[in-house]
Amino acid sequence: MLDQRKSAILQALVNEFITTAQPVGSSHIKTDTALDVSTATIRTELSQLEKEGYLVKPHTSAGRIPSDKGYRYFVDHLTKPGSLGPAQKQEVKHFFASSHAAIEALLQNTSKLLSRMTNNVGVVIGSLPDTTIIKAVQLLYSSEFSATLIFILSSADVEKIEINFLNHITESDIEKLSALLSSKSINIPLKSFLTSIPVQPENLEFEPMLRDIENAFKAYYSPSNELNDIKSSHLYVDGTSHIAESFEAIETVKNILEILEQQFVIVSLLRDVLDRGLSVSIGSENGLESLANCSLVVTPYTVDGTTVGSIGILGPTRMKYSEALATVAIIGNELSERLSKEGQTN
Amino acid sequence: MLDQRKSAILQALVNEFITTAQPVGSSHIKTDTALDVSTATIRTELSQLEKEGYLVKPHTSAGRIPSDKGYRYFVDHLTKPGSLGPAQKQEVKHFFASSHAAIEALLQNTSKLLSRMTNNVGVVIGSLPDTTIIKAVQLLYSSEFSATLIFILSSADVEKIEINFLNHITESDIEKLSALLSSKSINIPLKSFLTSIPVQPENLEFEPMLRDIENAFKAYYSPSNELNDIKSSHLYVDGTSHIAESFEAIETVKNILEILEQQFVIVSLLRDVLDRGLSVSIGSENGLESLANCSLVVTPYTVDGTTVGSIGILGPTRMKYSEALATVAIIGNELSERLSKEGQTN
DNA sequence: TCTAGCACTCTATTTTATCGAGTGCTAATT
DNA sequence: AATTAGCACTCGATAAAATAGAGTGCTAGA
């Protein structure tokens, strides 16, 4: 824990660095703070803060830059939750009040909103396979040898799986099968879908088709499939252009874009946060070389009290945390509310 | 039309520039080509090519760079279709042979494949609202006041629309409505959906609900909604990190990323190509300041002979056109075949 | 414990010099 | 008429040298 003066200095330094992106020297801090001490005193303080790992010097005769530890302290102890201006609150309210016919569009637009309001990359992760429950099942006839299996999930997502049948099927077969599946599988977790349709005496005639469905389902959710996470929990990203604004080095930009393309990486980062609530992951805490200069501000969102996904922003470590935290928090809340209200998904 | 020697010079110059990204001087061209003339002769040719608009000089004492017109000539007259190596053909075959349970995943992965094989941005556009036909309709009960309307389209896409009813509804209402819609709307174009359900004497009791559906549908496809194009024709983009490799200036990268985020811009660019077949759009031909240094190689794809969308790559004007054309063409073919076979979508 | 003062460090910026790939022109050659 | 050798000239790129100034760390005195 830092004493009052060190705190004030660290806070001023971080704030200054966030806005200017330049190393901060002792004299700047003197003007920024109300501290009535000389720059020499500030310098000794700075050098101690550096010794303790909160600050870093790019080179001998430069000002200081916050280290990840410095940012961490800043976020944990020196950042008030922050509140949005009325105009911005209005923007969020208006966004969620306006209609978004499809859930996918809502989530996609939510990532856009996050991005636009914070000038960072907006990220939204929908549906968590472990917790989602089947709210409706429907099998739709496509052709003599294929049909589409559709799940509507508690997370408000829709999953659809193409089924190819080995044997000839009829529309009436499919209808009966569909009814059968509905009767057995509603309100159980998606991951238990298979066990919910054991072969019973009365549906022996459907056994081969059920076998086909089983195979398609297994293939779709095969854990060996790296894309599985993406398929079963959609990721919506927007505002990638902001990272080109935030970083000078084109190499850095490239690396971050690559990470964003490997969606499962982001997905797992966002998942970590589910039981932690609103939280910040700073630089090296992300555990990824490529994201060493990035921070994530993430919060889970809920549907009817159950956590179903998370939203967040990805930006440079020198982001406006207070603003970011406030924005992510409010959008998370409004999204939860929007998804829960009107019983749309129950 | 350029004479033999000018052609050879232009061709050599473009090829050299594509690989080195440096302005090309007369001596390089002498070594690159089999032409048995002096550099002085080449210089006069170059200066004529420049006068005719095929080449550009960054500054007085530099080599030349192809202009958009130069690339255009190169693509139109000096580029053979190009063919992929066996390993690459294999990669494409293998990709389309392996199973992709959901169409969305297939299209998303196709953009990834395009990107990986060409080291550019891969783009896939699915479903064209004007031509898509409803293959199945289903209304699913969600709650007392809401349901989900699902269309399976000939493009293999699924559209779903949340309906909020003004009045209390029951599951049985929804079932009947669903059957009614199915009977009236299958095999008609999506855009004619509304006119396909006129109120008939026998379904007067559903009139208020049909009204609600009508409103939701109208809202969803409202032409005033700029997002409409995106919603009704999904866009899949992958490999954005490659643009950070292709361009030096971070500003350029930012601008291109921004364009990619405004999906409807890309969608309209890709649409232009539908009746032109495999084609290339170079630099200023794209009509967008931000894409002045980019080219698009695009081809439509079909399902059972009907064009339903297009795929392509976005890269720097100095891309390997021959390779790009070959790759886009083969992937387009395989995708069409894959979507058509097995009658999955009929 | 704080502060004024000062020597020292080191990057960033500017200035100057030099290099060399490439051009355009001209006069001679084929 | 086309080609080519020769040469002066241009101009960005790279390197080297000079300068400025923001910032530090240390010390001695208040």
Do A122 and A240 fall into the same domain?
A: yes
> Worst-scoring range by mean pLDDT, B58-62, B72-76, B176-180, B287-291?
B176-180
Domain with residue B307: its CATH number is 3.30.450.40
Question: Could you check: is the Cβ of residue A28 within 7 Å of any atom of nucleic acid strand D?
Answer: yes
Last residue of a domain, one of A168, A192, A225: A225
CB spacing of A241 vs B254 below 8 angstroms: yes
Do A114 and A206 fall into the same domain?
A: no
CB spacing of B158 vs A162 below 8 angstroms: no
In chain B, DSSP assigns E strands to 55-56, 65-66, 121-125, 134-143, 146-153, 158-164, 235-238, 279-282, 294-303, 306-316
Return the pLDDT at A130.
58
Do B257 and B108 fall into the same domain?
A: yes
DSSP string of B3-34?
Answer: -HHHHHHHHHHHHHHHHH-S-B-HHHHHHHS-
Locate all alpha helices (DSSP H) within B221-280, ordered by sequence.
228-232, 241-246, 250-261, 263-271
Q: Which of A146, A231, A345 sits opposite B343 (nearest CB)?
A: A146
CB spacing of B146 vs A102 below 8 angstroms: no
Return the pLDDT at B210.
86
Contacts with A134 from chain B: Cβ below 8 Å = none
Residue range A52-93, pLDDT digits in tens: 999 999 999 899 999 999 999 999 999 987 889 999 999 999
In chain A, DSSP assigns E strands to 55-56, 65-66, 121-125, 134-143, 146-153, 158-164, 235-238, 279-282, 294-303, 306-316
How far apart (Å, rounded) are the C-alpha atoms in residues B284 and B267? 17
Between these two residues, B199 and B119, which has the higher pLDDT value?
B119
Do A159 and A210 fall into the same domain?
A: yes
Residue range B159-169, pLDDT digits in tens: 778 888 998 99
Do A259 and A118 fall into the same domain?
A: yes
CB spacing of A253 vs B253 below 8 angstroms: yes
* CB pairs < 8 Å spanning A and B: 141
| 3-state secondary structure at position A159 | strand
CB spacing of B241 vs A257 below 8 angstroms: yes
Give the closest nucleotide to B25 (alpha carbon vs C1'): C22
Residue closest to D24 C1′ by Cα: A61
SS3 labels along A179-234: HHHHHHHCCCEHHHCHHHCCCCHHHHHHHHHHHHHHHHHHHHCCCCCCCHHHHHCC
**Rounded mean pLDDT of chain B?**
87
Question: Could you check: is the Cβ of residue A3 within 7 Å of any atom of nucleic acid strand C?
Answer: no
Do B139 and B213 fall into the same domain?
A: yes
User: Which residue positions in chain A have pLDDT lower than 70?
Assistant: 99-102, 127-132, 153-158, 221-233, 341-346
Domain with residue A168: its CATH number is 3.30.390
Q: Which of B99, B158, B238 sits opposite A219 (nearest CB)?
A: B99
Q: Which of A102, A344, A346 sits opposite B160 (nearest CB)?
A: A102
How far apart (Å, rounded) are the C-alpha atoms in residues A70 and B140? 52
pLDDT above 50 for B344: no
Question: Could you check: is the Cβ of residue B57 within 7 Å of any atom of nucleic acid strand C?
Answer: yes
pLDDT above 60 for B226: no
DSSP H or E run through A105: helix A103-118
pLDDT above 60 for B155: no
CB spacing of A248 vs B244 below 8 angstroms: no
Do B118 and B172 fall into the same domain?
A: no
Return the pLDDT at B129.
53
B-chain residue closest to A342, CA distance: B145
pLDDT category, B1, cuts 50, 70, 90?
Answer: confident
Min CA distance, A245 vs chain B (Å)? 7
Domain span including residue B62? 4-78
Q: What is the CA radius of gyration of chain A?
A: 25
Do A168 and A40 fall into the same domain?
A: no
Contacts with B143 from chain A: Cβ below 8 Å = 342-346
Return the pLDDT at A342.
47
CB spacing of B164 vs A101 below 8 angstroms: no
Distance in angstroms: CA B37, C1' D2: 11
Distance in angstroms: CA A41, C1' C4: 11
Do A109 and A138 fall into the same domain?
A: no
**Tokens representing A244?**
């080109």
Return the pLDDT at B131.
60
> What distance, in Å, lies between the first and last C-alpha atoms of chain A?
47
Number of domains in chain A: 3
Return the pLDDT at A100.
65
Last residue of a domain, one of B207, B228, B249: B228
Do B107 and B54 fall into the same domain?
A: no
**Tokens representing B182?**
């199915």
Do A111 and A170 fall into the same domain?
A: no
Which of B121, B127, B138, B262 to mutate against chain A (most A CBs within 10 Å)? B138
Q: Please, what is the angle between helix B103-118 and helix B321-340, to 10°?
A: 160
Residues contacting residue B320 through CB under 8 Å, at least 6 positions apart: B18, B118
Question: Could you check: is the Cβ of residue B66 within 7 Å of any atom of nucleic acid strand C?
Answer: no
Do A238 and A100 fall into the same domain?
A: yes
Last residue of a domain, one of A78, A107, A142: A78
Distance in angstroms: CA A38, C1' D30: 14
Average pLDDT estimate for B306-316? 92
